[in-house]
């Protein structure tokens, strides 16, 4: 399974612990136990994650957030691309720079499988932020025979999982361990162990700017307090009186008395269902039958976790190594039969149900893409009104004819009738709809035709002498239209209007240029005719 | 028994049966019986009309579209949309089966709520099954039969429609339709020979009752210059039961 399909893990930050009623007083009271903590840190994590995701050609990579450099790789830093630089200047300093947009979701998504791999060695890992995690050191230290050995082993495991040059710090409390990891060097010195009780001495020479409160740090600097040691030397009661509870907490951190316990994450439940077929199945109905039990298991597992699934991702892998991947939405929530239907529709595309496939299917992977608490999807005591009935009726038609057979219309922006009518399959949401509220000069005057041919029909228009009518470059008609013929049918044209030029997107590749006419035939029926390079077309009928 | 004898004597004595031939008399009694059967069948359905455009309602048997009935409409999308607009505005869901060229934007201009409109453009050979499935949940269903259905399947569908209270509008002919709506003498306004554009249309709408076989027609603006459908003030093309509205 590729990391792209896995949902981003819920990241627990230590702030949760601060709000937790179990630890009301912080932990800086004398005598409170301060846990031994190991922090594993992957330097330049945003860069590592972006390279993993985008696989750029060059080593020099910079992530851009709001037009400024957010992070840069070592090769880019060597050329002077630093954080906070403007994009244009960064490109000037390093012409080979590959610029990517910073996406916090990528950080989380790529870090998730690494944590999952680490959890195979040791449980109770707390993710501090993407690229940094903390764990209780006691168990692993006993297993690996020492704190340093344990840190080296786990950092090596992180490297194997693709985390880059992981560094580790072991100390009393999360804050001190994090500073130890940051203070370590690369290579053999990548693990820094601060002995128990040495935290205050280790932190004392460090800059006060490490505290995560910009206003307080500024104020402390102006007061002449420049190191954590200076700050820790202030009397705790005075700090509390002046800066309140947050200040007291930071003062405890600076003194090396960070007794917040680790809050290990709960590994997210894995609801993915993978069905392997051996040998490969090459018929749609066989695959649909094979998926049925797994679909029931999939929905049962979600229901047991009190979840209702509103979107699934279906991945189909064929023995020709083709991967077909699609997200299916559901207007309500999926039932096992709905899941089987989606797999079948994805397989058959526009074909019929018992059609053969071009390549055999060897694996089907079903992932919940969006879940919701099941309480929000419970039907009322007397049912939930007419909508449910309509959904069931239309789903029945969909399972007979295919997903795209039942369409909901809406009006989008555009000039031609075909552009303006948007049809979306029942259950999907419209994508990329052009704004209908914009003026759209050149659209048809009302009344609009009730019959819009899809596809439009080729016709011929003749003048009085039976010669074909054409329009020249300047928009002049060669003759007044007198006859309209489609196949063997020939109708006289009574009144007509046009040509109206439609010249769309003349600046681009998909330019479209045509002339529009309205014509009333001898039976009193009116037509919308279009003349383009391909000749005359009947686009719509006013009937 | 006596009363029967008495009545029969009276019947013999009345002059009319002497004038009527026996064949005509039997026809009359058949018609009377049919009317009686119809009235007994129709009591439930007549009472349930769905909202219908006033310009057309007066032409229809019963004064509007009935629930559970089938109407056939001859090749006019605009007439179809006029019929759909009333129930759609009143909150019904509408479905259009087997009409891929249904003009969605025109439907919206005619007052059909697109939030409650569902299209099944290509039902293929399953059109009758799809129509029946959709009619189970929708108020008004439009369908176009690609081929003639068997009498038994038509009877089954009719029974289902009556049970569900859905109205079926068929584009084309249908053997058991309540009435047939057709257009004739279409006349467009606003367009000349090389100038203007289509702005309004006057048309004669004819409704043929299946039972009586008598056509009723009216001259309508479909639509007028303001995109409204209303009775035309010009010379009517036939019998009309509705008082004509003033036109501007």
pLDDT single digits (tens) A200-248: 899 999 998 888 888 999 999 999 999 999 999 999 999 999 988 888 9
A518 → closest Cβ in B77, B78, B197: B197
d(CA B204, CA B192): 21
Write out chain A residues lying below 8 Å of B197, CB-based. 445, 497, 518
The pLDDT of residue A110: 87
DSSP assignment of B197-212 equals: EEEEEEEEEEEEETTT
Mean pLDDT of chain B, nearest integer: 81
- pLDDT range class, residue A13, cuts 50, 70, 90: very low
ipTM of the complex: 0.78
Nearest to B136 among A393, A480, A498 (CB): A393
Least confident of A185-189, A342-346, B38-42: B38-42
Q: Among A250, A249, A254, which residue's Cα sits nearest to residue A228?
A: A254
Residue B194 · residue B186 · CB < 8 Å: no
Cβ pair A394:B187 closer than 8 A: no
Reply yes or no on whether the pLDDT at A9 is more than 90.
Answer: no
As given in the structure block, the two tokens for residue B144 are 């176009």
| Partners of residue B183 in chain A, C-beta under 8 Å | 543
Q: Which long-range contacts does A527-530 make (Cβ < 8 Å, 24+ apart)?
A: A527/A484, A528/A417, A528/A444, A528/A449, A529/A459, A529/A461, A529/A484, A529/A498, A530/A456
Q: Is A538 on the interface with B (CB under 8 A)?
A: no
pLDDT higher than 80, residue A284:
yes
Cβ-nearest to A452 among B93, B101, B201 = B101
* CATH number, domain B48-248: 3.40.50.300
Radius of gyration (C-alpha) of chain B in whole angstroms: 22
Q: Which long-range contacts does A115-121 make (Cβ < 8 Å, 24+ apart)? A: A115/A9, A115/A265, A116/A267, A117/A157, A117/A161, A118/A40, A118/A154, A118/A157, A118/A158, A118/A161, A119/A267, A121/A153, A121/A154, A121/A157
Instruction: Write out pLDDT tens, residues A59-95.
Output: 889 999 888 999 988 889 898 888 888 989 999 998 8
Q: What pLDDT, on a 0 to 100 scale, did the predictor assign at position A187?
A: 62
Residue reference for tokens 């200040």: A247
| CA A244 centroid distance within chain | 40
Mutate to test the interface with B, among A402, A442, A446, A541 (most CBs of B within 10 A): A446
Asked if the model's pLDDT at residue B98 lies above 90, the reply is yes
Nearest Cα neighbor of A425 from A337, A339, A341, A331 is A331
Which 3-state string (H, E, C) describes A223-271?
Answer: CCCCEHHHHHHCCHHHHHHHHHHHHHHHHHHHCCCCCCCCCCCCCCCCC
Which range (A349-353, A418-422, B6-10, B225-229) has the least confidence? B6-10
Is A447 in contact with B187 (Cβ distance < 8 A)?
A: no
Is residue B11 predicted with pLDDT exceeding 50?
A: no
The stretch B75-83 carries a mean pLDDT of: 91
Every domain of chain A and the residues it spans: 1-14+33-58+97-268, 273-393, 406-440, 449-542
Cβ-based contacts of A523 with chain B (< 8 Å): 186
The CATH number that domain A273-393 falls under is 3.30.1490.100
- Secondary structure letter of residue B149 according to DSSP: P
Q: CA–CA separation, A40 vs A131, rounded Å?
A: 8
Region B99-123: mean pLDDT is 92
DSSP string, A31-46: T----EEEEEE-TTHH
Taking each helix axis as running N to C, give the angle between helix A336-348 and helix A284-304, from 0 to 180 degrees, rounded to the nearest 10.
140
Q: What pLDDT score was predicted for residue A3?
A: 40
- Using alpha carbons, select from A525, A420, A543, A414 the residue that is nearest to residue B105: A420
Percent of chain A with pLDDT over 70: 90
Is B223 within 8 Å of A426 when comparing Cβ atoms?
Answer: no
Peptide bond into A279 cis (omega under 30): yes
Lowest mean pLDDT among A15-24, A137-146, A177-186: A15-24
Please give the pLDDT value at position A20: 39
Q: Say what the pLDDT of residue A540 is.
A: 93
**Class at the top of the CATH hierarchy for domain A1-14+33-58+97-268:** alpha beta
Q: Quickly count: other Cβ atoms within 10 Å of residue A474's Cβ.
A: 5
């Amino acid at each position: 399974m590729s990391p792209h399909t896995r949902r981003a893990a819920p990241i627990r930050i230590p702030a949760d612990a601060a709000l937790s009623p179990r630890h009301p007083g912080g932990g800086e009271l004398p005598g409170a136990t301060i846990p031994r903590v190991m922090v594993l840190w992957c330097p330049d994590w945003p860069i590592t994650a972006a390279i993993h995701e985008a696989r750029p050609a060059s080593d020099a990579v910079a992530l851009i957030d709001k037009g400024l450099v957010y992070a840069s790789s070592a090769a880019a830093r060597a050329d002077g691309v630093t954080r906070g630089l403007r994009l244009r200047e960064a490109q000037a300093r390093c012409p080979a720079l590959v610029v990517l947009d910073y996406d916090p979701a990528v950080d989380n998504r790529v870090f998730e499988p690494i944590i999952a791999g680490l959890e195979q060695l040791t449980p109770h890992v707390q993710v501090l932020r993407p690229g940094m995690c903390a764990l209780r050191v006691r168990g692993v230290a006993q297993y690996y025979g020492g704190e340093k050995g344990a840190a080296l082993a786990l950092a090596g495991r992180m490297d194997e999982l693709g985390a880059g040059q992981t560094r580790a710090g072991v100390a009393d409390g999360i804050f001190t361990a994090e500073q130890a990891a940051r203070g370590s060097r690369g290579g053999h010195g990548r693990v820094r162990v601060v002995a128990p009780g040495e935290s205050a001495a280790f932190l004392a020479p460090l800059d006060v700017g490490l505290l995560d409160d910009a206003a307080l740090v500024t104020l402390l600097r102006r007061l002449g307090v420049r190191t954590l040691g200076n700050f820790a030397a202030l009397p705790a009661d005075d700090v509390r009186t002046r800066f309140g509870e947050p200040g007291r907490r930071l003062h405890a951190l600076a003194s090396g008395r960070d007794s917040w316990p680790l809050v290990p994450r709960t590994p997210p439940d894995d609801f993915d269902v993978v069905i392997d077929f051996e040998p490969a199945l090459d018929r749609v109905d066989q695959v649909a039958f094979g998926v049925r039990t797994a679909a029931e298991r999939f929905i049962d597992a979600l229901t047991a976790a009190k979840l209702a699934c509103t979107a699934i991702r279906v991945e189909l892998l064929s023995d020709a190594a083709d991967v077909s991947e699609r997200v299916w939405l559901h207007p309500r929530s999926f039932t096992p039969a709905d899941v089987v239907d989606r797999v079948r529709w994805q397989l058959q595309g526009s074909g019929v149900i018992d059609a053969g496939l071009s390549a055999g299917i060897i694996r089907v992977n079903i992932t919940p893409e969006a879940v919701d608490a099941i309480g929000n999807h419970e039907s009322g005591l007397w049912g939930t009104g007419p909508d449910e009935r309509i959904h069931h009726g239309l789903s029945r038609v969909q399972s007979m004819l295919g997903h795209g057979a039942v369409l909901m219309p809406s009006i989008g922006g555009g000039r031609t009738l075909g552009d303006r009518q948007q049809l979306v399959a029942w259950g999907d949401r419209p994508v990329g709809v052009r704004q209908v509220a914009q003026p759209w000069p050149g659209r048809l005057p009302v009344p609009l035709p009730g019959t819009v041919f899809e596809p439009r029909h080729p016709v011929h228009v003749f003048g009085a002498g039976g010669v074909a009518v054409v329009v020249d470059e300047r928009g002049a008609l060669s003759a007044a239209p007198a006859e309209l013929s489609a196949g063997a049918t020939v109708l006289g044209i009574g009144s007509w209007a046009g040509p109206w030029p439609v010249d769309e997107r003349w600046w681009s590749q998909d330019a479209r240029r045509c002339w529009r006419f309205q014509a009333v035939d001898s039976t009193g029926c009116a037509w919308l005719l279009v003349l383009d390079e391909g000749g005359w077309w009947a686009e719509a009928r006013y009937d | 028994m006596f009363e029967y004898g008495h009545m029969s004597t009276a019947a013999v004595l009345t002059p009319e049966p002497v004038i009527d031939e026996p064949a005509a008399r039997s026809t009359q009694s058949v018609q009377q019986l049919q009317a009686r059967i119809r009235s007994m069948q129709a009591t439930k359905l007549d009472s349930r009309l769905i909202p219908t455009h006033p310009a057309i309602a007066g032409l229809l048997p019963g004064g509007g579209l009935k629930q559970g009935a089938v109407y056939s409409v001859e090749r006019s999308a605009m007439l179809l949309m006029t019929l759909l607009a009333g129930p759609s505005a009143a909150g019904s869901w509408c479905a259009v089966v087997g009409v891929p060229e249904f003009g969605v934007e025109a439907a919206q201009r005619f007052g059909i709520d697109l939030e409650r409109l569902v299209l099944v453009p290509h039902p293929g050979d399953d059109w009758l099954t799809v129509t029946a499935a959709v009619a189970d949940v929708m108020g008004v269903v439009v369908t176009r039969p690609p081929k003639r259905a068997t009498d038994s399947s038509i009877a089954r569908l009719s029974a289902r429609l009556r049970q569900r209270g859905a109205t079926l509008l068929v584009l084309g002919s249908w053997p058991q339709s309540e009435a047939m709506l057709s257009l004739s003498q279409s006349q467009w306004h606003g367009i000349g020979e090389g100038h203007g554009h289509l702005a309004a249309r006057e048309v004669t709408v004819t409704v043929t009752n299946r039972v009586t076989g008598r056509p009723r027609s009216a001259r309508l603006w479909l639509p007028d210059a303001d995109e409204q459908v209303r009775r035309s003030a010009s010379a009517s093309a036939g019998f009309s039961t509705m008082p004509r509205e003033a036109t501007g």
